């Protein structure tokens, strides 16, 4: 559900606090007080759902914009949904680091491993769920959808490939697999030969993460989480740093 609320009425005679609800099927409830504005928000809803948006937008003469303008009416748009899920497949060093960081970022964290001495709740205090079970069985049962991120960081490419096979085609919001370019290419080639669709395989983020020069398990987890958040929010991954003109000494 997308909830739109008038923050700043601007010059258009809107009522502060007026609300509009837009369901994923396009059905609307309530009103912002202007039929044209209601239609603009409804048209923006599919993109907001895709980005799990929580943002302020402004009403300009030519439509809604992220850019503030003096006197423009301001709206707050928020996709209201359950807490996103983050499934870590593999409870090694990187998996444990991912669990800590995903929990900090307010995901509902589940960690899966088929080894009892790794899938141990005492080693994963930040995880909401620790699963010790055969990978295929557990993944077939785990609910996966647009609000779910799944990361394969198991102990080997055989386990990664088996796990990825069970997750393809289920609409995960983020699906990533760790490994070198050579190793991950081989896994994707195997799955392509099995008949998995090219567009589905193209959605797998592998090699995984953003290039930040990560070396340690914690740094690798950071690069993976940054990529997951980037895709979830529709970011570009480009540096935000900018300086106008040369720096001058006073």
Each residue's pLDDT tens digit, 191-227: 999 999 999 999 999 999 999 999 999 999 999 999 9
| Contacts (Cβ under 8 Å, ≥6 apart) of 126 | 99, 100, 102, 103, 104, 109
What's the pLDDT tens digit per position in 47-77? 999 888 899 999 988 889 888 887 889 999 9
Q: What is the pLDDT of residue 72?
A: 87
Q: Are residues 214 and 102 in the same domain?
A: yes
Q: Are residues 90 and 71 in the same domain?
A: no
Q: Are residues 25 and 130 in the same domain?
A: no
| Contacts (Cβ under 8 Å, ≥6 apart) of 51 | 79, 232, 233, 234
User: Residue 250 above 50 pLDDT?
Assistant: no
Give the whole-angstrom CA distance, residue 189 versus residue 250: 59
Q: In which residue are the tokens 């995903």 written?
A: 102
Q: Are residues 95 and 61 in the same domain?
A: no
Q: Are residues 102 and 180 in the same domain?
A: yes
Q: Are residues 93 and 22 in the same domain?
A: no
- What are the φ/ψ torsions at residue 75 (nearest 5 degrees)? -125, 150
What's the pLDDT tens digit per position in 146-201? 999 999 999 998 999 999 999 999 999 999 999 999 999 999 999 999 999 999 99
Whether residue 111 lies inside any domain: the answer is: yes
Q: Are residues 11 and 118 in the same domain?
A: no
**Side-chain half-sphere exposure of 76, counting CA atoms within 13 A:** 11
Whether residue 197 lies inside any domain: the answer is: yes
What does the buried/exposed string (b/e) look like for 64-87 if buried means 16 or more CB atoms within 10 Å of the residue's CB?
beeeeeeebbbbebbbeeeebbbb
Q: Are residues 37 and 143 in the same domain?
A: no
Count: domains in the chain: 2
| Contacts (Cβ under 8 Å, ≥6 apart) of 241 | none
What's the pLDDT tens digit per position in 95-131? 999 999 999 999 999 999 999 999 999 999 999 999 9
- Helix or strand or coil: residue 55? strand
CB 58 within 8 A of CB 75: yes
Helix (H) or strand (E) holding 199: helix 198-202
Whether residue 239 lies inside any domain: the answer is: no
Whether residue 71 lies inside any domain: the answer is: yes
Containing structural domain, residue 215: 85-233
Q: Are residues 9 and 99 in the same domain?
A: no
Q: Are residues 121 and 207 in the same domain?
A: yes
Q: Are residues 33 and 153 in the same domain?
A: no
Q: In which residue are the tokens 């850019």 written?
A: 67
């Amino acid at each position: 559900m997308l909830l739109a609320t008038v923050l700043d009425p601007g010059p258009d005679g809107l009522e502060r606090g007026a609300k509009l609800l837009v369901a994923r099927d396009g059905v609307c409830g309530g009103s912002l007080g202007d039929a044209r504005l209601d239609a603009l928000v409804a048209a923006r809803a599919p993109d907001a759902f895709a980005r799990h948006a929580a943002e302020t937008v402004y009403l300009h003469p030519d439509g809604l914009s992220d850019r503030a303008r003096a006197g423009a009416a301001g709206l707050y748009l928020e996709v209201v949904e359950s807490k996103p899920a983050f499934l870590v497949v593999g409870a090694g060093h990187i998996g444990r680091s991912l669990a800590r960081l995903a929990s900090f970022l307010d995901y509902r964290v589940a960690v899966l491993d088929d080894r009892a001495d790794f899938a141990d709740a005492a080693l994963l205090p930040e995880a909401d769920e620790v699963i010790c079970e055969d990978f295929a069985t557990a993944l077939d049962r785990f609910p996966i959808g647009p609000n779910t991120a799944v990361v394969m960081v198991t102990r080997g490419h055989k386990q990664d490939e088996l796990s990825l096979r069970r997750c393809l085609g289920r609409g995960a919001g983020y699906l990533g697999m760790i490994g070198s370019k050579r190793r991950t290419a081989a896994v994707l080639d195997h799955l392509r030969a099995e008949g998995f669709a090219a567009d589905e395989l193209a959605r797998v983020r592998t090699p995984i993460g953003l290039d930040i020069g990560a070396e340690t398990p914690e740094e690798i987890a950071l690069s993976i989480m940054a990529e997951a958040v980037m895709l979830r929010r529709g970011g570009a991954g480009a540096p935000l740093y900018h300086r106008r003109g040369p720096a001058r000494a006073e």
